[in-house]
Structure 1
Amino acid sequence: MGELDATVHARLASIVGDTNVLTAAAETEPYLVDWRGSFRGRARAVVRPGNTAEVAAVVRFCADVGTPVVPQGGNTGLCGGATPDATGDEIVLALGRMNRVRDIDPANATITVEAGMPLATVQEHAAAAGLYFPLSLASEGSCTIGGNLSTNAGGTAVLRFGNARDLTLGLEIVLADGRVWNGLRGLRKDNTGYDLKQLFIGAEGTLGIATAAVLKLFPVPRTQVTALVALASVNAAVALLGRLQSALSDRLTGFELVSGVALALSRKLDPALPAPMPGHAWYV
């Protein structure tokens, strides 16, 4: 494993503080393995910046000395995208300290947050302002907005509100050489130039590191109805989706397909789960 020499450690510590440069095995372990334990890597250090200037300074320094950087949010991904490789030469840049609300604009229905804020916390701040942030997924208590944007997360409300890119008005990005691109605009009707933010959303940190975002908020839904339907085939599910969209238009928020095999496996892992309408091949 590549060790962090004293000079490099001192330089990183001068940027983020000594307590935010982790090198001990017990401290770095949670950052080196993915949520399922399927991917495991090594790193020279885990660096935890507290603001955009610190991210930029760390990235600039790593670029100068040729050290690869792996950005990491809540580390809830299942594909190894936030896990360092096995060489031990990389630095993990963990953004969890960057978890502040920079602005809430109820009149424009927007919220500006830093990339390390958990998704559930964004939802809570929106609710406190009497508004609604619709992105929702199973890991929302620990996944972060930066990770959501880097993967263009979908969640359960895509049919009505779209993916993460559809919920984003502006971004702040640290580029690979440490320069900061400030695209934190909350303008909704913006037809100027290239929409550069869309290049970074879904790029998984390969083009730059998101440090903040302006997100769209919506009125709180007045009512919500959830139904479970058992079906014989995927074709039947597609037909049902078409009928519901014709009847409900954009009021249809989610339509999740679950196989009978997946439901049976879930009940095997957790026997307390209810089993309404057992024995069917598909459910929505």
Structure 2
Amino acid sequence: MKVVVTGGAGFIGANLLHTLVDNPLMDELVAVDDLSTGSLDNLTDLPVRLLRGTVLDAKVLDAALAGADCVVHLGALGSVPRSIDNPLASHHANATGTLMVLEAVRRHDVPHVIVASSSSVYGANPVLPRQEALRPMPVSPYAVSKLATEAYALAHASCYDQAVLAFRFFNVFGPRQAAHHAYAAVVPRFVSAALVGEPVRIHGDGRQTRDFTYVGSVTSVIADAIVRRVSAPDVVNLAFGERVSLLDLVAELESVLGRPLDRVHEPPRSGDVRDSQADSTRLRELFPSPRRYTTREGLQATVDWMSDRVLVRH
């Protein structure tokens, strides 16, 4: 199989490629990435062809997708705060970028497409757990752009008879996730601060909850979907129904490290939802035996990976 991963040098994309290289069914792996948020270090020593460029460039996509059996579209401009600072950039990268990928898929008759949406699309909807049929109520430009991502993918499936699988990710974390930029996600920020002896900075009271999902669980599901060419007529939550508060996350990190951590509370961030938890019924119907890592297992793996890198940086 030839598989193309957009955003292949990024956090989830690189982890997926590390998973796929061990699969004997994979004949050719191609990463498309403009390296605006991804890193070449994530692909070191991998037998992967990298096409450096943006998903907004049709020529780059044509060069990547010719002869592909599956496209996994992970290329995006992440972060709710970043989208609030620059909503047009989020729209172009995420909404228009997805449409560009889908049109390239159509030009090259790629038989299977997997796209990444986000739990942020549920937004202000208060119902928990988040079931896919709930009305989306996005409260940030990022969430709107991800709602467009999944809507475009499902519309293409309907109009052009494409096999599409649209996942909603929930707070994915793990190795290769950047910690040292203004829009870093909460887990790498907490782990990085803890490793260098700085206080963990918590926005709000810390009682807000998330369905943290270890990246190894995500990539194992996607890899299975590629091999079995899984598609679905509607979106699918890719998370397992855990509900962990930020305070509980810090406590678990303290347990992994074997020491207490200092905490600093800062004002809540605009655009953040209060609580998030996935209904995983649809996921389990499609993937009855997914490889699932606990939050603790994921934190331990993240700490192990980040330890040398964070300490070297400091």
Fold agreement, TM-score > 0.5:
no
Structure number with larger C-alpha Rg: 1
Higher helix share: 2
Structure with bigger RCO (C-alpha 8 Å, 6+ apart): 2
TM-score relative to the length of structure 1? 0.27
TM-score relative to the length of structure 2? 0.25
